[in-house]
Amino acid sequence: MIYSTLKNIKCIVLDVDGVLTNGNILVTEDGQQLRTFNVKDGYAIQYAVKQGLLIFVITGANSLGVKKRLEMLGVSEIHLGIKDKLTLLINLLSKYKVNKEHVVFIGDDMPDYQCMEYVGTAIAPADAIDDIKKLCQYISTRSGGEGVVREVLEKMLKLQGKWHSDFFLQSI
């Protein structure tokens, strides 16, 4: 991992399908599309929010369940059903006065392409498509839904001295 960069990150932007999930959708007979989330990702997200890290979620998916799960974790900027992710991202960074060099974007497929070119640090799960991986500063050893977000957030918070300083001295 790119230690020096992660130390200065202020904002993490996450895609949902293939990043927070394994990219699978369970379809019910009445047309609901249900997703599966990872508890270790969830633990790190709620912890990072409490430590003051900015976490944005920008996804093409449009699901009330996704919204409820992310709200429960304390994410305040949850943007569903987004087609032009880059325009939204630029507006959000302007609103929160964050320089794009201090932003990580974790994505896995073409709708994330432009955002991942734009931000300072692009990270992809191991099973992202090849054209996305080529853009990345770091590719996780984990696939989507298997703790990619946990890995990045835990490493980042440890580097910033914010990971459970109550329990143990930071080991990096």
Site of interaction with a second copy (CB under 8 A): 17-18, 21, 23-40, 42-43, 63-66, 68-69, 108-111, 113-114, 129, 131, 145, 150, 154, 164, 167-168, 171
Backbone angles phi, psi at 115, to 5 degrees: -65, -35
Contact (Cβ atoms closer than 8 angstroms) between residue 162 and residue 51 = yes
In the bound state with a second copy, the residue whose beta carbon lies nearer, of 66 and 98, is: 66
Least separation in angstroms between CB 106 and a second copy: 15
Which is closer to a second copy, CB of 8 or CB of 114?
114
Q: Which is nearer to a second copy, 83 or 95 (CB)?
A: 83
**Cβ distance 129 to 110 under 8 Å?**
yes
Smallest separation, CB 70 to a second copy (Å): 10
The distance of closest approach from Cβ of residue 88 to a second copy in the complex, given in angstroms and rounded to an integer, is 18
Nearer to a second copy by C-beta: 13 or 157? Answer: 157
Sheet of 54-58: strand order equals 77-79, 54-58, 11-14, 103-106, 121-124, 138-139
Cα–Cα nearest to 82, from 96, 68, 62:
62
